[in-house]
Structure 1
Amino acid sequence: MTTIPVTHGAAGLAVPTRTQPIRALLALEARAEAGTKVFLERWSIPALRVALGAVFVVFGALKFVPGASPVESLVMQTWDKLTFGLVGGQAAMIATALIEVAAGALLILGGAFARIGLVVLALAFIGILSPIVLLPAEVFGTAGPTLTGQYIFKNAVLIAAALVIASRVLRGPGRVR
């Protein structure tokens, strides 16, 4: 038998309190929050891994098609500077496309493939961020970052996503597969 919490009114009579429905509602909310946390712990990083991989597959695939990527000129200039003029033009676009699509596909596949994809992605990020140093006039305008610069700086979010994914997929002490 359930007892109802009571309080004593001014006349000393027992009056039921209204805390029981509130406590039940709070308990339900706590269970829902705990269930959501378990779900997120299980699925959020894999979802982030697949989403990041998809971004790189899509943007990398654009670079296979001449004129389709909004950063085509930037990619060609960057490769030209990074390789001291040895790689440029369409070869630079194809190389970038291959690196980005490979990194993205490996991330999507997961497991050991994701670990390899993170290494490829780290190499890609070097190229992606290098215009900041190699082509500052393309990145910075008189009033701050140019549109190209903003395109490059948004990669901070993608780098952070890659770090979160790495925290899950990299093996460390006690995680041997």
Structure 2
Amino acid sequence: MSSTAARPTTTGTLRTAAHHVLDQVTAVLAAHSVTALRVSLGLVFLAFASAKFVAGASPAEDLAVATVTELTFGLVSGPDALLLTALTETVIGLTLLTGRFVRLGLLVLAGAMVGIMSPLVLFPEQMWSDGGPTLAGQYVFKDIVLVAGALVVTAHALGARLRTDDDR
């Protein structure tokens, strides 16, 4: 029996250490990544809402007002439409940020996403120019990421949990 067969190789030791580190990172991500996503979504919604409380401060103000006006058949328009949008985004942001009433916030978010994405259908001429998406179009398209993040947070809030290959 040779002495090299009895002791692990450096490569084997490094591989074992790397797997251990990856297992630890996976455990931390599984434990905290959805919370980090929820909190970051809350901060984004609060940031967007804060600009809408001040007339002229949001680059999406005109689009938000036009969208709410269209979706409410003119019942809510102008400053009221902007205030409704700001309040909706504030409710969503606070629930996600604090972790309190998350399901309510996600329900409000689901309804808001219809409004947030509807300019793609309601105002396509404002979403595109000859060179690609306009600034307004880019503003709406980034919301696709918010929708995807919200789906992950919603799945978690409804009981889904991250699993590793070992859990299956």
Confirm whether residue 115 of structure 1 aligns to residue 137 of structure 2.
no
Which position in structure 2 is the counterpart of 1:48? 37
Which position in structure 2 is the counterpart of 1:4? 3
Which position in structure 2 is the counterpart of 1:175? none
User: Structure 1: how far apart are the matches of 2:134 and 2:105?
Assistant: 30
TM-score w.r.t. length of structure 2: 0.88
User: Structure 1 counterpart of 2:50, which letter?
Assistant: A
- Gaps (5+ residues) in structure 1? 7-15, 173-177
User: Structure 1 counterpart of 2:39, which letter?
Assistant: V
Deviation at 1:129, TM superposition (A): 0.8
Which position in structure 1 is the counterpart of 2:137? 149
User: Structure 1 counterpart of 2:26, which letter?
Assistant: K
Which position in structure 2 is the counterpart of 1:105? 94
Q: CA RMSD in A?
A: 1.9
Deviation at 1:171, TM superposition (A): 4.2
Deviation at 1:40, TM superposition (A): 0.3
Partner of 1:102, secondary structure, is helix
User: Structure 2: how far apart are the matches of 1:109 and 1:144?
Assistant: 37
Confirm whether residue 137 of structure 1 aligns to residue 125 of structure 2.
yes
Deviation at 1:143, TM superposition (A): 3.4
User: Structure 2 counterpart of 1:4, which letter?
Assistant: S
User: Structure 2: how far apart are the matches of 1:146 and 1:170?
Assistant: 36
- Gaps (5+ residues) in structure 2? 161-168
- The 10-residue stretch of structure 1 (130-139 or 92-101) with the greater mean CA deviation from structure 2: 130-139
Deviation at 1:141, TM superposition (A): 2.0
User: Structure 2 counterpart of 1:161, which letter?
Assistant: G
Structure number having the greater helix percentage: 2
User: Structure 2 counterpart of 1:158, which letter?
Assistant: L
What is the aligned length?
Answer: 159
User: Structure 2: how far apart are the matches of 1:44 and 1:170?
Assistant: 16
Deviation at 1:114, TM superposition (A): 1.2
Which position in structure 2 is the counterpart of 1:10? none
User: Structure 2: how far apart are the matches of 1:122 and 1:23?
Assistant: 49
User: Structure 2 counterpart of 1:121, which letter?
Assistant: L
Give CA-to-partner distance per residue, 1:110-151, whole Å, 9 cap, x none. 26x111111111111111111111111111223332121111
Deviation at 1:169, TM superposition (A): 0.8
